[in-house]
Amino acid sequence: MNTKRYDIGRQNLDKIDGACGEKVIKSLEDISPDLGKYIIEFAFGDIYSRKGLSLQEREMITITSLLTAGGCESQLEVHINGALNVKISPAKIVETFLQCIPYTGFPKVLNAINVAKKVFHERKLVIENSNF
Amino acid sequence: MNTKRYDIGRQNLDKIDGACGEKVIKSLEDISPDLGKYIIEFAFGDIYSRKGLSLQEREMITITSLLTAGGCESQLEVHINGALNVKISPAKIVETFLQCIPYTGFPKVLNAINVAKKVFHERKLVIENSNF
Amino acid sequence: MNTKRYDIGRQNLDKIDGACGEKVIKSLEDISPDLGKYIIEFAFGDIYSRKGLSLQEREMITITSLLTAGGCESQLEVHINGALNVKISPAKIVETFLQCIPYTGFPKVLNAINVAKKVFHERKLVIENSNF
Amino acid sequence: MNTKRYDIGRQNLDKIDGACGEKVIKSLEDISPDLGKYIIEFAFGDIYSRKGLSLQEREMITITSLLTAGGCESQLEVHINGALNVKISPAKIVETFLQCIPYTGFPKVLNAINVAKKVFHERKLVIENSNF
Amino acid sequence: MNTKRYDIGRQNLDKIDGACGEKVIKSLEDISPDLGKYIIEFAFGDIYSRKGLSLQEREMITITSLLTAGGCESQLEVHINGALNVKISPAKIVETFLQCIPYTGFPKVLNAINVAKKVFHERKLVIENSNF
Amino acid sequence: MNTKRYDIGRQNLDKIDGACGEKVIKSLEDISPDLGKYIIEFAFGDIYSRKGLSLQEREMITITSLLTAGGCESQLEVHINGALNVKISPAKIVETFLQCIPYTGFPKVLNAINVAKKVFHERKLVIENSNF
């Protein structure tokens, strides 16, 4: 095993996704521990540790990509939590989703907003996000 | 017509997409001018003028969404130009695309990188973007 | 706020999606009221009020697009109700979905049919739709 | 071979897609004639010959599904021709695409409009389709 | 009705998808029996009975396509069962999903693995699938 | 750099994708050499070198995933060549695509067949693939 990539990835996963990320890796242990290893080594080790973008920017890109892909509600839940963990405000998360409307249409944005609503509620967050 | 929304949208379109955006609107004139009007009023008037995200962040979200959707190479070309116009560096555009690998896989990232390559070449931009 | 677009959109939303549409807008109030406003003003105000297609045709297009996009089961539920509200028969809704088989394959059609089944059951509708 | 399904399908293909459809089937002859056979027997034989929707409605559903799927520009070209062949007006084809904006976003609609523009130009059709 | 295609399809469906496939067809009886008929005649009659690929290969292709499409979790459940029924080992099913990571990204693979986990658990299957 | 993963990946890339793969990596040199590195290390190093599936099976999965994703015609071209390089016959490649029809619909299968046609033609391959 490539200890260094794994260790860096593990630290990034803990910092960004916290308990949610840990839960995903745990859930893979009895079916595909290697999948968990690749998520840690490649996604969080190789990619998230790159220079050139802040963690806030990386999470903004991630939730945009998951919204656009569709059908990734559980990963979106992990990464909306991740976005909050790296100090993106709830209002900015919602604003990120609204920016997608012209490119994805309303249904995918509604799906993402519903996941955000659930996460904000669980974390007892209140948002002020009307521009009007 | 809603002059105010249109005028704001027109200004945003000019500032962000410049000649490329103008070309898209022009190309619609003889087939669906209303589509051009909605792009200006709704996308660039209502959405791009919202508070809460910088134009740089909005373009980063836009190119991420277009990469993830797939099959949107001509819109990606317009918005890679847009990203450059609002002063996102070529290296940061490439880095945005690399952040998508874990979420979209390599093929869509390769497609987006190829469009970026064409745009950077046309604008005679050179990038330094290896993290290694 | 653009009162006229909003009012026209509100009327169209009430006529087409009825209680289901109202519920979606309500659910957005504490997280993104602006998203609800854009759905009303742009989707139901600007687009649904256009000439050139009947409301029945607009709903047929809408449920086709939602089926094809995939992962939009809750929006499909709203618009299957919408299709019924503007007097498209249950059999014609099912037939619309079957027409998609050659273009989307069976899985997405099965997903849409399952949503239709739930809606028809809730509205106590019985259909006669075998061509054989 | 199931002659009846094939013959019905062949007639429908000729009526709807005309020379374009013929070209698709021809192009498959040396690589996968069976694929051509299934398109004729299943898509045009089984599905297009069903009761419950007019051919105009079937083509409207088809072009909506192809627009939404994305990346199907050559099939869209065949079926925009098909829509015109069964007497859907150019303006109504454009209107069908505009109805998709709220559900698919602008990029896919722009892609479809560009294909329509090419087809209308080839067939020397002029449209009047602004609602304003 | 085309008895021969239907009978072959019925046999293939029973052999491959067993009780799960039967349940899908049953569930369509009161809403769209014709959809069930097409699944049997075309998918399982025409396609699955073709020469040139083993049933194991056909199921491997099917679960790959369903994973990649996204949003097809219930069809994936049927076909993971189908793959097991035609004697693909649980470890090989998981390996098929891991091969998709570079092409689809992690989220879709995670979704498919979660469905596999549920199916393996229901069938009390234990897997040994780490390569490390 | 992780020499071992890179070297294994490089060998796999050469064996499978040959000149086509080399061309992709080369084309990235002046815009994103790191992307080429990840394709080699992660896709071809980590994933393709795993046990549990033959290279033939891995390529069959890959072309199925690329067909289903849509909009990945250039990657499909590389991997149809890859499939031929690892000794999958042209007829079996076509058969793999036909197996996808029930799950993806005809348009994506037609797109993939067209790429195969181009590749087979370039490699002067003739196929016998009718089942009838």
Task: Give the pLDDT confidence score for residue A45 in this predicted structure.
Answer: 97
**Would you state the structure tokens that stand for residue A119, as one six-digit string?**
């996460």
Q: Are residues F78 and F121 in the same domain?
A: yes
Query: F84 pLDDT exceeds 90?
Result: yes
From B30, which residue of chain D is nearest by alpha-carbon distance?
D127
Among chain F residues, the shortest Cα distance to E59 is held by F99
Q: How far is F119 from chain B (nearest CA, A)?
A: 19
Residues A125 and A64 in one domain: yes
What's the confidence (pLDDT) of residue E2? 63
pLDDT higher than 90, residue C127: no
Instruction: Give me the pLDDT at residue E57, please.
Output: 98
Q: Is the pLDDT of residue A129 over 70?
A: no
Q: Is the pLDDT of residue D132 over 80?
A: no
Looking at the partner chain, which of B42, B60, B69 has a beta carbon nearest the beta carbon of A61?
B60
Residue C8 pLDDT grade (very low, low, confident, very high; cuts 50, 70, 90): very high
Q: Measured between CB atoms, which of D34, D39, D66 is closest to F131?
A: D34
pLDDT single digits (tens) B45-77:
999 999 999 999 999 999 999 999 999 999 999
Residue of C65, C96, C100 to mutate, interface with D, max D Cβ within 10 Å: C65
Same domain, F19 and F75: no
Whether the per-residue pLDDT at F1 is higher than 60: the answer is no
pLDDT at position E127: 81
Q: In this structure, are E45 and E65 located in the same domain?
A: no
Q: Which chain B positions have a beta carbon within 8 Å of A100's beta carbon?
A: 61, 65
Residue ranges in F1-132 assigned as alpha helix (H): 3-27, 33-38, 55-69, 73-85, 90-99, 101-104, 106-122
Q: If you measure CA to CA, which chain E residue comes closest to A63?
A: E107
**pLDDT above 80: residue F76:** yes
pLDDT digits (tens, 9 = 90+) for D29-38: 999 999 999 9
pLDDT in the model for residue B129? 62
Q: Say which residue the tokens 């293939």 belong to.
A: E12
Q: Residue D129 pLDDT more than 70?
A: no
What whole-number percentage of chain A has pLDDT above 70? 96
Q: What is the mean pLDDT of residues A39-58?
A: 97
pLDDT band at D2 (very low <50, low <70, confident <90, very high): low
Instruction: Tell me the CA distances in angstroms from A105 to A109, B8, B127, D103, one per residue in order.
Output: 7, 21, 33, 5
Same domain flag for A77 and A38: no
Q: Show which subunits contact F, needing at least 3 CB pairs below 8 angstroms.
A: A, B, C, D, E
pLDDT confidence band for E126 (50 / 70 / 90):
confident
Cβ-Cβ contacts under 8 Å, B72 against chain A: 103
**Interface chains of chain A (3 or more CB pairs under 8 Å):** B, C, D, E, F
Of B100, B103, B106, the CB nearest to E103: B106
- How many CB pairs (< 8 A) connect A and C? 59
Provide the pLDDT confidence category of residue C3 given band limits of 50, 70 and 90. confident
Position E50 pLDDT exceeds 90: yes
Regarding whether E38 and E74 lie in a shared domain, the answer is no
If phi over 0 gives left and psi between -120 and 50 gives alpha, with beta otherwise, what is residue D49?
alpha
Nearest neighbour of A130 by CB, restricted to C24, C33, C66 = C33
Helix, strand, coil share of chain E (percent; to 5): 75, 0, 25
E strand or H helix that includes residue C63: helix C55-69
Q: Give D-chain residues touching A102 at CB under 8 angstroms.
A: 105-106
CB atoms inside a 10 Å sphere around CB C29: 10
Give me the residue from B106, B120, B131 closest to F31, CB to CB: B120
Cα–Cα distance between D91 and E44 in angstroms, integer? 41
Number of domains in chain C: 2
Q: pLDDT tier at D131 (50, 70, 90 boundaries)? A: confident
Helices (H), chain D: 3-27, 33-38, 55-69, 73-85, 90-99, 101-104, 106-122
What residues of chain E lie within 8 A of the CB of F58, using their CB? 99
Q: Which of D41, D42, D50 is the mutation pick for testing E, counting most E CBs within 10 A? A: D42
Q: Cβ contacts (< 8 Å) between E30 and chain C: which residues? A: 117
D39 plus D64 within the same structural domain = no
F75: exposed, middle or buried (C-beta count within 10 Å: 0-12, 13-18, 19+)?
buried
Give the residue from A11, A34, A50 where a domain finishes: A50
Q: Which residues of D touch A105 (CB under 8 A)?
A: 100-105
Neighbouring chains to C with at least 3 Cβ pairs closer than 8 Å: A, B, D, E, F
| Final residue of a structural domain among F14, F33, F50 | F50
Average pLDDT of the residues of chain D? 95
Please indicate whether, in this complex, the C-beta atoms of B129 and F69 are within 8 angstroms of each other: no
Residues B31 and B61 in one domain: no
In chain C, % of residues over pLDDT 90: 88
pLDDT at residue F79 greater than cutoff 70: yes
Look at residue C107 and tell me whether its pLDDT is greater than 70: yes
Residue-wise pLDDT for E51-103, tens only, equals 999 999 999 999 999 999 999 999 999 999 999 999 999 999 999 999 999 99
Could you say which DSSP state residue A131 is in? -
Question: How far is C-alpha D26 from the geometric centre of its chain's CA atoms?
Answer: 17
The predicted pLDDT at position F3 comes to: 86
- Report the pLDDT value the prediction gives residue A123, as an integer from 0 to 100: 96
Answer yes or no: do A31 and E127 touch at CB < 8 A: yes
From D120, F50, F41, select the one nearest E92 (Cα to Cα): F50
**pLDDT at residue C105, rounded to an integer:** 98
Both D46 and D76 in one domain: the answer is: no
Contact F102 C103 (CB under 8 A): no
Percent of chain D with pLDDT over 70: 97
Q: Which residues of B touch F38 (CB under 8 A)?
A: 98, 101, 106
Q: Which of E51, E65, E104 faces F131 most closely, judged by CB atoms?
A: E51
- Beta carbons of F92 and E52 less than 8 Å apart: yes
Q: What is the pLDDT of residue E52?
A: 96
- Taking the CA atoms of F78, F84, F88 and F92 in sequence, report the sign of the dihedral they define: positive
- Structure ipTM: 0.95
Q: Which of C43, C50, C98 sits opposite D131 (nearest CB)?
A: C50
Whether the CB of C5 is below 8 Å from some CB of chain D: the reply is no
Co-location of F60 and F45 in the same domain: no
Mean pLDDT to the nearest integer, A31-58: 97
DSSP labels for A82-122? HHHHTT--HHHHHHHHHHTHHHH-HHHHHHHHHHHHHHHHH
**Nearest-CA residue of chain D relative to E4?**
D2
pLDDT(A92) > 90? yes
Residues 60-119 (C) with a CB less than 8 A from some CB of D:
60-62, 64-69, 75, 91-92, 95-96, 98-104
**Sign (positive or negative) of CA dihedral C118, C120, C125, C129:** negative
- Residues E95, E63 contacting (CB under 8 angstroms): no
A96, A99, A110, best to mutate vs chain C, most C CBs in 10 Å: A110
The residue that leads in pLDDT, F22 or D43, is D43
Of the ranges B41-50, B79-88, B96-105, C16-25, which one carries the lowest mean pLDDT score?
A: C16-25
Q: What is the CATH number of the domain that holds A91?
A: 1.20.1290.10
Average pLDDT over every residue of A42-71? 98
pLDDT digits (tens, 9 = 90+) for A75-84: 999 999 999 9
Q: Give me the domain span that covers residue E123.
A: 54-132
What percent of chain D stands above pLDDT 90? 88
Same domain? For B46 and B58 the reply is no
Q: For F18-73, what is each residue's pLDDT tens digit?
A: 888 899 999 999 999 999 999 999 999 999 999 999 999 999 999 999 999 999 99
Contact F65 E61 (CB under 8 A): no
Amino acid code (one letter) for B108? K
Scanning every residue of chain A, which has its alpha carbon at the shortest distance from the alpha carbon of E127? A31
User: In angstroms, what CA-CA distances link C47 with A12, A31, C7, C32, E19?
Assistant: 45, 48, 13, 21, 46
pLDDT at residue D3 greater than cutoff 70: yes
**pLDDT on residue D4:** 94
- Assigned token pair, F83: 């499939």
Q: Please name the member of C33, C34, C39 whose beta carbon is closest to the beta carbon of A106.
A: C39
Chain F, nearest residue to A43 by Cα: F42
Q: Give yes or no for residue A7 having a pLDDT over 90.
A: yes
pLDDT of residue D51: 96
N- to C-terminal Cα separation, chain B: 54
The reply to whether A108 and A120 lie within a common domain is: yes
The pTM score is 0.96
Average pLDDT, chain C: 95
The arithmetic mean of pLDDT across residues C91-99, rounded, is 98
In chain F, which among 10-49 make CB contacts under 8 A with chain C?
none
Chains with 3+ CB–CB pairs under 8 A to D are A, B, C, E, F
